[in-house]
Amino acid sequence: MNLYGLIGFPLSHSFSKKYFAEKFVKEHITGSRYDLYEIPGIKELPGILEQTPGLRGLNVTIPFKQEVIPFLDDLDEASAGRIGAVNTIKIFADGSTKGYNTDYYGFRQSVEEWLDHRGESCANLKALVLGNGGAAKAVCAALTDLKADYQLVSRTSSESALSYEELTSELMQEHRLIINTTPLGMFPKVEAAPPIPYELLNSRHFLYDLVYNPLETAFIQKGKAKGAQTHNGLKMLELQAEKAWEIWTHEEDLWNR
């Protein structure tokens, strides 16, 4: 049995197990299973690897995308190494591990398609990236490659980020693409939303929420109420999951080395 799974805490919001279970049935993939590993600390990862010999790959979600790096043997420099965050781990037959970042691919592909369908592009928009965790790192790398100017926004101001209190009317009108990379609004705390000045939004704004459960978060609802275009994180989830599967199942000969 080839085992795959997701590590994070909490995992009640995750659609990943359902996604892969449906994929295995639809594509007639036998001898494979996807499980959830809800762990309170990343130090439990080595134990999971030791106790689960059939484990071939893991996805990584909040809050471990950066914390997991010291526990891995290798990083894919083109993705995880450059970004500084891991959301996909490949486990080889000898037990060695390698970290990748497929969030980058999922976000880049989905935001490009979404904006293109609306006659826009990242290169023509300035963005506000809400949050400074592992997901934000992947989003910023994608925006850089898409030639989009962006500004980080966090709870406290720093050299690299503005605080929410520093979002002026001028900044809000200048930055028309607003991306929520925080877990605010995620199930079960669905009433939460990033504290941006929603009253300054209008129909020229584009709000992208990486959260996909619920499909319509408070962040998206508040944007819609002001006429903004909105997009949830479901397509990104699907794209990054397919890229992870490609990584896990590529070069099958490696399993027999």
| CATH number assigned to the domain comprising residue 215 | 3.40.50.720
CB atoms within 10 A of CB 121: 14
Is residue 226 annotated as part of the catalytic site, yes or no?
A: no
Closest of 92, 83, 81, 8 to residue 49, by C-alpha? 92
Contacts of residue 173, defined as CB under 8 A and 6 or more positions apart, other chains included, come to: 200
Regarding whether 121 and 49 lie in a shared domain, the answer is: no
Domain that includes residue 137, residue range = 104-236
pLDDT per residue over 173-191, tens digit each? 999 999 999 999 999 999 9
Q: How far apart are CA 19 and CA 234, in angstroms?
A: 11
148-162 tens-digit pLDDT: 999 999 999 999 999
Question: pLDDT tens digits, the chain, 257 residues: what are they?
Answer: 999 999 999 999 999 999 999 999 999 999 999 999 999 999 999 999 999 999 999 999 999 999 999 999 999 999 999 999 999 999 999 999 999 999 999 999 999 999 999 999 999 999 999 999 999 999 999 999 999 999 999 999 999 999 999 999 999 999 999 999 999 999 999 999 999 999 999 999 999 999 999 999 999 999 999 999 999 999 999 999 999 999 999 864 343 33
> Same domain for 126 and 218?
yes
Q: What does the block give as tokens for 59?
A: 């996805």
- The count of structural domains within the chain is 2
Q: Which helix (H) or strand (E) holds 176?
A: none
Do residues 40 and 141 both lie within one domain?
no
The predicted model scores a pTM of: 0.94
- Nearest partner of 128 among 162, 179, 168, judged by Cα: 179
**Rg of the Cα atoms in the chain:** 19
Cα–Cα distance for residue pair 12/247, rounded to 1 Å: 25
Residues 56 and 162 in one domain: no
Are 90 and 101 a contacting pair, CB within 8 Å?
Answer: no
Q: Do 170 and 53 lie in a common domain?
A: no
Residues 129, 51 share a domain: no
Query: Residue 86 maps to which CATH number?
Result: 3.40.50.10860
Q: Within this chain, do residues 124 and 92 fall inside the same structural domain, yes or no?
A: no
Instruction: Report the candidate in 106, 144, 114 with the shortest Cα–Cα distance to residue 16.
Output: 106
Structure tokens at 38: 């809800």
The helix/strand/coil state of 89 is: strand
Q: What share of the chain is helix, strand, coil (3-state, %, to 5)?
A: 40, 20, 40
Q: Are residues 108 and 226 in the same domain?
A: yes
Same domain? For 184 and 93 the reply is: no
**H or E stretch at 181:** none
The answer on 207 and 172 residing in a single domain is yes
With contact defined as beta carbons under 8 Å apart, do 85 and 102 qualify?
Answer: no
Q: Residues 148, 216: one domain?
A: yes
Catalytic residue, from 23, 26, 65, 126: name it. Answer: 65
**Matching residue, tokens 């790192």:** 137
